[in-house]
């Protein structure tokens, strides 16, 4: 297993990272006693190294961070009570900032920006400093734009899932419950319309067709909360997960993907955990595929260990050949 790591100072806690420009990994820190940082690392696949490029002082704890798909130099950051749009080149420049009534629990950023707090979903225009309420629900944990139907929002709240149609301001679908505990993350399948994955406090990752009530597939490979899940943008049978059991997982779930099922090719086991990285000493809150490529993913644990992991060559060749 190819695993490259970088340790951020013990002075900081970390629960947010993103990837931009293929090889760059950007991490935000949390500390009440030290000036917080936005840290940029570069992964070098040829030399198998993960190196510090830049470290910028930042005046707030970073709870969420994301890079723009259309412009990787733009970063969106959620602090305790605001959202900030930053431009990163050789330095960090704050472009726009907007206060929130409470801490953001998630944001989904496409042509439009939606942000969830514990009790509300907002549509946000940073340039005009406009914060528009979309709907209210109790215990909202995550909101995601459907990439295939961008007028639809998937909302995880308490133990349930609802699909909100922003055209007529109505709920299109509701599935309740989807987890035996709070929903923690949602991610739409990039290739299969109406399909998404969810994770929760019941340690499970589940796969859904939002037009149906029944779960397509459920896997329990972690022993504590699954905080984040991410589909591979190129091969949707691959999904990565981050858990507070101090591990990350790479899962192959052909049966709930757009890939044709050929169980003989996968030695009669089309769905399995391909690998589990359990070399962390603290909870792992964030994981992401490296931007623009299919075979590496990055993760960060609460104690500041950043790890880049490669999809095993054997698995890669099964998919490509």
Using CB atoms within 10 Å of the CB of residue 24, give its burial: 0 to 12 exposed, 13 to 18 middle, 19+ buried. buried
Estimate the share of the chain in helix, then strand, then coil, as percent rounded to the nearest 5: 5, 55, 40
What the block records as the tokens of 53 is: 């490029």
Summarize pLDDT for 2-28 with one digit per residue, the tens: 789 999 988 999 999 999 888 899 999
Summarize pLDDT for 205-222 with one digit per residue, the tens: 999 999 988 999 999 999
Instruction: Give dist(CA 156, CA 105) in Å, integer.
Output: 11
Instruction: Give dist(CA 252, CA 315) in Å, integer.
Output: 9
Instruction: Give dist(CA 129, CA 38) in Å, integer.
Output: 24
| pLDDT value at 263 more than 60 | no
| pLDDT value at 269 more than 70 | no
Summarize pLDDT for 16-61 with one digit per residue, the tens: 999 988 889 999 999 989 999 999 999 998 889 999 999 999 999 9
The CATH code of domain 3-320 reads 2.130.10.10
Residue 46 makes CB contacts below 8 A (sequence gap 6+) with: none
| pLDDT value at 67 more than 60 | yes
Summarize pLDDT for 282-291 with one digit per residue, the tens: 999 999 999 9
Against a cut of 0.85, is the pTM above it?
yes
Instruction: Quote the pLDDT of residue 126.
Output: 83
What are the structural domain ranges in the chain? 3-320
Instruction: Quote the pLDDT of residue 20.
Output: 86
């Amino acid at each position: 297993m190819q695993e490259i790591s970088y340790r951020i100072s013990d002075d900081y806690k970390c629960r947010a990272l993103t990837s931009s420009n293929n090889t760059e990994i950007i991490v935000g820190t949390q500390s009440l006693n030290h000036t917080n940082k936005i840290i940029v690392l570069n992964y070098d696949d040829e030399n198998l190294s993960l190196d510090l490029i830049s470290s910028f002082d930042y005046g707030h704890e970073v709870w969420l961070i994301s890079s723009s798909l259309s412009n990787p130099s733009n970063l969106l950051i959620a602090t305790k009570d605001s959202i900030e749009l930053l431009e990163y080149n050789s330095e960090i420049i704050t472009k726009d900032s907007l206060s929130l009534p409470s801490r953001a629990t998630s944001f989904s950023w496409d042509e439009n920006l939606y942000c969830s707090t514990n009790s509300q979903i907002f549509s946000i225009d940073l340039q005009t400093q406009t914060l528009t309420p979309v709907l209210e629900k109790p215990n909202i944990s995550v909101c995601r734009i459907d990439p295939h139907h961008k007028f639809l929002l998937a909302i995880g709240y308490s133990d349930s899932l609802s699909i909100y149609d922003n055209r007529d301001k109505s709920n299109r679908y509701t599935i309740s419950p989807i987890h035996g505990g709070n929903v923690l993350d949602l991610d739409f399948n990039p290739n299969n319309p109406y399909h998404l994955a969810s994770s929760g406090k019941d340690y499970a990752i589940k796969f859904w067709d939002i037009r149906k009530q029944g779960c397509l597939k459920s896997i329990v490979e972690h022993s504590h909360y699954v905080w984040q899940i991410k589909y591979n943008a190129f091969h949707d049978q691959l999904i990565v997960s981050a858990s507070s059991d101090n591990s990350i997982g790479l899962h192959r779930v052909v049966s709930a993907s757009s890939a044709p099922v050929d169980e003989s090719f996968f030695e009669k086991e089309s769905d399995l955990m391909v690998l589990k990285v359990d070399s962390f000493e603290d909870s792992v809150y964030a994981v992401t595929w490296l931007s623009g490529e299919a075979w590496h993913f990055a993760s960060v644990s609460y104690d500041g260990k950043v790890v880049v992991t490669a999809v095993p060559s054997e698995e890669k060749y099964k998919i490509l050949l």
